[in-house]
């Protein structure tokens, strides 16, 4: 996997995501984390740091040293293994593993996503849960998902291959910068099958962290699979 979050992207990641929910995510995860939590793609610790502040023992895996360096500006108390979240192991087992904000799609192959579920399950104690927040695949070849004064986002999607690219145009210092990041879009049903292959079963699925019902109109889902 390529590190798409190096350098200036890591440096401004927290500022760029400042409007995203944190407390609702932590409130959702907390009851599942009594035996500790492992975050795949922990990044700058946007979720892990406040979750740890609520008394949870949190560990993480992340591919990007620059993102982990931003996390280290906040705390040295969260152990992080640097590497691909599909294969990298950390010590111990947990009652919760989680990956948020579409990061499961940063692994751009089906094999890699299957391995991610297997790696999450390997870190879970029996009865532990794997939580994934991810968008529902777009049905349009092109879609503008953000249109602001300092950021424009355009998704490009190929339904035949399930490959997509998110084009981000960001105004930085008076100049527009472009980052085009590849993803592999995946349906809820395909994720359920990956979970079954890893020895997990679907426990619940919601449209958001507030537990709104998941419907055909939902643009994303928060899914919980339990290790059998």
Does residue 112 have a pLDDT over 90?
yes
Token pair belonging to 200: 């997990």
Token pair belonging to 39: 């975050």
91: number of Cβ within 10 Å: 8
CA angle 48/53/58 to nearest 5° reads 40
Q: 36 with 59: CB under 8 angstroms? A: yes
Q: What is the pLDDT of residues 19-67, one digit of tens each?
A: 999 999 999 999 999 999 999 999 999 999 999 999 999 999 999 999 9
Domains of the chain (ranges, CATH numbers): 8-137+187-227 (3.40.50.150), 138-185 (2.20.25.570)
CA angle 54/56/59 to nearest 5° reads 130
């Amino acid at each position: 996997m390529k590190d798409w979050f190096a350098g200036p992207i890591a440096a401004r990641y927290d500022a760029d995501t400042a409007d995203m929910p944190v407390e609702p995510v932590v409130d959702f995860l907390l009851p599942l984390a009594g035996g500790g939590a492992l975050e795949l793609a922990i990044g700058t610790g946007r979720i892990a740091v406040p979750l740890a502040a609520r008394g949870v023992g949190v560990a993480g895996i992340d591919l990007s040293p620059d993102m982990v360096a931003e996390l280290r500006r906040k705390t040295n108390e969260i152990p992080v293994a640097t590497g691909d979240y599909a294969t990298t192991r950390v010590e111990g087992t947990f009652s919760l593993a989680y990956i948020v904000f579409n990061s499961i799609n940063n692994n751009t192959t089906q094999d890699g996503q299957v391995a991610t579920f297997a790696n999450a399950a390997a870190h879970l104690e029996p009865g532990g849960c794997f939580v994934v927040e991810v968008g529902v695949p777009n049905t349009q070849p092109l879609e503008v998902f953000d249109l602001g004064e300092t950021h424009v986002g355009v998704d490009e999607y190929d339904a035949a291959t399930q490959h997509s690219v998110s084009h981000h145009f960001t105004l930085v210092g008076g100049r527009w910068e472009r980052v085009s990041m590849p993803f592999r879009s995946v349906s809820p049903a395909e994720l359920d099958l990956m979970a079954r292959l890893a020895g997990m079963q679907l426990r619940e699925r919601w449209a958001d962290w507030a537990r709104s019902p998941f419907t055909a109109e939902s643009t994303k889902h928060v899914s919980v699979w339990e290790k059998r």
